[in-house]
Amino acid sequence: MTATAPSLPASPVPDSGSALRRLSRWLHAHPRVRLGLVLLLPIAWLVVAYLGSLLVLFLNAFWSRDPFTSLVVRDFTLDNFVKLLTTAVYGAVALRTLTMAAVVTLTCVLLAYPIAYYMAKVASPRTRAALAVAVVMPLWASYLIKAYSWRLILSDDGVLNWLLSPLGVKGPGYGDVAVWLVFTYLWLPYMIIPVYAGLERIPDSLLEASSDLGGRAAMTFRRVILPLSIPAVAAGSIFTFSLTLGDYIVPGLVSTTQFIGNVIYVNVAQDLPLAAAYSLVPLIIMLGYLAIARRFGAFEAL
Amino acid sequence: MGGGAGRTALRVATGAVLVFIYVPIALVVVYAFNASGTSAWPPSGFTLEWVDAALANTGLQQAFLTSLVAAFGATIVALVLGSLAALAVSRYTFYGRETISFVVILPIALPGIVTGMALSTTFGSLHFPLGLVAIIVGHATFCVVLVYNNAIARLRRTARSFEEASADLGADTFQTFRYVTFPALRSALLAGALLAFALSFDEVIVTIFTAGGVKTLPIWIFQSFRLANQVPLVNVAGLAAILLSVVPVYFATRLTSTVTGRA
């Protein structure tokens, strides 16, 4: 960094007359104003604009749609919620999505833990660095293309059936199993990275202490490693859970099953207030999930 | 721990997960050069036909450019907002500080469809036209966290005493930022910016809600799934999309690991 460091101004003695200098001195004396200036844009954008638009979404859920003009009527009504609660399909779709999110999260934990553990506690520093890059890179490779690749793999004349045909069996094809596979595939790195970081933070001395005290490998794992890695698992699960809850593209690519995202997506054009009301379902589930994850220390492990 | 058998099992599991992660990506590359242009396996032969067709496709070129512009715009906004938020949270104590760090994470922690719906509904109410600017606003909102996370990690490791020393030596607020704080932050900001770029370049869930008629590369790919004559080009476009997300991320990883000494 020394090579690129800009040379300091020639005269370190302040020319106390310049306006900038006076402004700076004034700001230095008024830290609250300084803080206000630093916070102005982030607050305007994230609090006013972003939270504001979540509020607009919330308000829309209490409005209705004129059946003739399809325009939104801004009169307070609970009709959307009554419709969501009394029409069985909405509950069924929500439950299905929730189950899928839970199963995908669980699968991601089971797949991520061994590789994260290997990276953090077994691999040499070189291998560890290489594996970290190998796990992070695919996270950023086009999401759509990765999902599409599974459409090719699972298609009738695709790779999987070709591989399985000598055994006389067929792959799962398109459907709920395919959705589960693709979600697990897409979100897996989101779980591996925090779990690896969490396991890496556990000092080896703790593991040695456990073994000195007579704890066998299984015991050390259950009593030391597992409890200490829970915040990291919770952090990873925020992503696997949230991303599954809101996705409408994967189910459309590899199944015909409807999930929350699909129902919202279809309704946006037809009945915006109803779609807004339904989108409160993943929003509320996720806020609840974040509250729980926070109690498990997930936010410190993000 | 776990002795030889445990180690071997871990090694096998690690290898299996890596195969699981990389096979589908490798397949996209194979299909981009597959002569038959269908999903049938094994490929019928090698061809550059789809690459040529993709390079000649004006819709695809336009989408690619749009994505570049959107990602660039979103990255700039995310850089400004993310570094300001990180400075405020790491260098000041104030009421609501926890809220700021929570609100920064929220757009990425909430399902994309919620953010997409909220933005499109709000834009609709304000009669703000959907399109490139709306896309950039949406992308910037969830890209802030990437810059913020990188910047705050660096600021927490950079001793505040440097800034105090600078002030003691007579530097004013702006000079301290320019000659002390910013140089310490630079590589972290660059890493955050590269990640933000990659995320924006790839995003489709929120984009669909804010795009109006504008096509980004992911939207072009998404729409091409349904067009039989464009399906073979999807793999080529996918290859380009993968390269353009993965290359920045590779450099971002290098940047943060060389400075902090950690992978």
Q: Is pLDDT of A7 > 80?
A: no
Per-residue pLDDT averaged across B213-236, rounded? 86
Which residues on A lie below 8 Å from B173 (Cβ)?
24, 27-28, 34
- Nearest Cβ partner for A248 among B2, B113, B172: B113
Angstrom distance (rounded) from CA A184 to CA A108: 6
State percent of chain A over pLDDT 90: 45
Q: Is pLDDT of B2 > 80?
A: no
A64 DSSP 8-state letter: E
pLDDT winner (highest mean) among A173-187, B167-181, B187-201 = A173-187
Which residues on B lie below 8 Å from A170 (Cβ)?
none
Angstrom distance (rounded) from CA A48 to CA A28: 27
Candidate from A163-172, B31-40, B190-199, B212-221 with smallest mean pLDDT: B31-40
The predicted-structure confidence for A215-243, as pLDDT tens digits, reads as follows 888 888 888 899 999 999 999 999 999 99
Output A64 or A9, whichever has higher pLDDT.
A64
CB contact under 8 A, B183 and A1: yes
Cβ neighbours around A223 below 10 Å, total: 12
Residue of B nearest to A132 (CA): B263
Give pTM, 2 decimals. 0.87
pLDDT-based confidence at residue B214 (cuts at 50, 70, 90): very high
Q: Name the minimum distance, in Å, from the CA of B27 to any CA of chain A.
A: 7
The count of CB pairs under 8 A between chains A and B is 284
Candidate from A59-73, A224-238, B97-111 with smallest mean pLDDT: A59-73
Angstrom distance (rounded) from CA B146 to CA B139: 12
Whether the Cβ atoms of residue B136 and residue B78 lie closer than 8 Å to each other: no
Which residues on B lie below 8 Å from A239 (Cβ)?
109
Whether the Cβ atoms of residue A29 and residue B69 lie closer than 8 Å to each other: no
- Among B186, B209, B228, B247, CA closest to B128: B209
The predicted-structure confidence for A96-146, as pLDDT tens digits, reads as follows 999 999 999 999 999 999 999 999 989 998 898 889 888 888 877 788 889
Q: What is the DSSP string of B30-98?
A: HHHTBTT-SS-SS---B-SHHHHHHHH-HHHHHHHHHHHHHHHHHHHHHHHHHHHHHHHHHH---TTHH
The predicted-structure confidence for B12-53, as pLDDT tens digits, reads as follows 999 999 999 999 999 988 888 887 777 778 887 788 888 888
Say whether residue A73 is in contact with chain B using an 8 A CB cutoff: no
SS3 assignment, position B135: helix
Mean of per-residue pLDDT scores for chain A: 87
Whether the Cβ atoms of residue B228 and residue B177 lie closer than 8 Å to each other: no
CB contact under 8 A, B11 and A118: yes
Say whether residue B107 is in contact with chain A using an 8 A CB cutoff: yes
The predicted-structure confidence for A268-288, as pLDDT tens digits, reads as follows 888 889 999 999 999 999 999
CB contact under 8 A, A157 and B10: no
Q: Is pLDDT of A299 > 60?
A: yes
The predicted-structure confidence for A31-63, as pLDDT tens digits, reads as follows 888 888 888 899 888 888 899 999 999 999 998
Output B69 or A3, whichever has higher pLDDT.
B69
State percent of chain B over pLDDT 70: 96
- The first and second tokens of residue B131, run together, are 């399109």
